Amino acid sequence: MVFTIDLSGSTVVVTGGNRGIGLAMSEAVADAGANVAILYRSHPEAEKAAENVAKQFNVKCKAYKCDVGDAAQVKDVIGKIEGDLGTPIKGLMANAGVSVVKPALELKPEDFNYVYQTNVLGVFNTCREVAAHWIKNGTKGSMVVTSSMSSEIYNQSGLNKPLTQVFYNSSKGAVTNMCKALAAEWAEHGIRVNALEPGL
């Protein structure tokens, strides 16, 4: 028996959903019948990616320009999605992430802010806003957050050399533990929060 998931009649929000892993997530939930809201910060091809998903899978898919590190922007966008797409938000895939690759001794405070603003605060902003929406409406839902194997290990850049991305690794450790805390806190509302830790 083939295991299938039917997400028809629902909307899934995918941050960073216009390329890479995020685009694959957008396509997967669309293939299962969900309408898709893609949140992106600046990529010029995001709207085209949304159009392609909608056409390929015969669903509604819209791209929303949104810096997830800005709580006000996230609140505004989440408030628009159901009206635009016509189906209730039932899932969130918090995938947006960035990295700075530099030796630790060369890192600056602005590098920390850049990484943590998206990877940690951005995840929290989107999870909190969607959870608040669900709790207000008595909706049960599922969140999948893209963490990384880098939350558990140090990465190598060939020849046993460490990949110098300390802020990225530590941000993903924060994300994994954030998911554990939010899952425990929101379980009583029927909200599931899980971290995905991909890697090579």
Average confidence score pLDDT of the chain? 94
CATH class of 11-98+119-147+172-196: alpha beta
Q: What's the predicted TM-score (pTM) here?
A: 0.93
**Is residue 161 flagged as an active site residue?**
no
Q: Which residues of 138-170 are buried (b: 16+ CB within 10 A; e: fewer)?
A: ebebebbbbbbebbeeebeeeeeeeebbbbbbb
**Residue at token pair 């995938």:** 95
User: What digits encode the pLDDT tens for the residues 148-180?
Assistant: 988 888 777 777 788 899 999 999 999 999 999
- Measured CA to CA in angstroms, residue 37 lies from 33, 51, 97, 126, 173 at distances of 13, 11, 17, 13, 27
Beta strands (DSSP E) in 41-140 are 61-65, 89-94
Set 40, 64, 116, 168: catalytic member: 168
**Is residue 64 flagged as an active site residue?**
no
Q: Rounded CA gap, 52 and 63, in Å?
A: 11
Q: Rounded CA gap, 176 and 187, in Å?
A: 16
Set 10, 148, 150, 151: catalytic member: 148
Set 60, 62, 90, 172: catalytic member: 172
Q: Rounded CA gap, 135 and 139, in Å?
A: 6
**Is residue 90 flagged as an active site residue?**
no
User: What digits encode the pLDDT tens for the residues 92-118?
Assistant: 999 999 999 999 999 999 999 999 999
